[in-house]
Amino acid sequence: MSNPLKQVFNKDRTFRPKRKFEPGTQRFELHKKAQASLNAGLDLKLAVQLPHGEDLNDWVAVHVVDFFNRINLIYGTVSDSCTEQSCPVMSGGPKYEYRWQDDNRYRKPTALSAPKYMNLLMDWIEVQINNEGIFPTNVGTPFPKNFLQVVKKILSRLFRVFVHVYIHHFERIIQMGAEAHVNTCYKHFYYFVTEFNLIDTKELEPLKEMTSRMCH
């Protein structure tokens, strides 16, 4: 990452503390393996493939936490220009509006401003990834049967952050000289979710044209 980007992404602009992996754990070793292949400039399509002999759930868990941290950072860099006034609706252009639904206050899909939606989204994901019953950290503790279902929901909601940032705040990313970093992060995310079939094709529609230019 170049110095201007370090300045952009190292400010304490993330909403949340970063979730880290405990050194010495299987997950930490996998995280290092994933990072090493990225840092070596390996083709992203190859970098996302499941390493020989590794468990799919472990590999997915490591990437979900990593994507959460990175996408958090990306949104943190534009959050000062994503306000109730500028983004009264959480959307990706005129065709796509995202409504929030959860098990607490918003039982029905509810239209919210983008900053409200983002806050709820990041809080919700943080609860999921810190829940030992869903993302166990102890070696030998099995993942729940519905693990990939939960992951699909997390990733499809994280994808919406990319949609909103690309369609409504990309000028800001360009002003900061951060577009190469954001594009690389997006490509990595896209190759990962398509490699393991973790997001429905219809969810990917809003960035379809951009993706076909960038990723094929």
Domains identified in the chain, total number? 1
Q: What is the pLDDT of residues 37-71, one digit of tens each?
A: 565 556 889 889 998 888 899 999 989 999 998 99
Establish whether 169 is an annotated binding residue: yes
For residues 204 and 190, give the distance between their C-alpha atoms in angstroms, rounded to a whole number: 9
Instruction: Write out the residue range of the structural domain in which residue 155 sits.
Output: 3-215
Establish whether 82 is an annotated binding residue: yes
Q: What is the pLDDT of residues 97-154, one digit of tens each?
A: 999 998 889 999 999 999 999 999 999 999 999 999 999 887 778 999 999 999 999 9
DSSP H helices, 40-138, are 44-47, 56-78, 114-129
Instruction: Assign 166 a pLDDT band (cuts: 50, 70, 90).
Output: very high
> In this predicted structure, which of 73-77, 94-98, 139-143 has the lowest mean pLDDT?
139-143
Which CATH number is 193's domain given? 1.20.140.30
What's the predicted TM-score (pTM) here? 0.85
Q: Pick the closest to residue 66 from 133, 142, 125 (CA basis).
A: 125
Residue 152 in contact with residue 198, Cβ under 8 Å? yes
Establish whether 87 is an annotated binding residue: yes
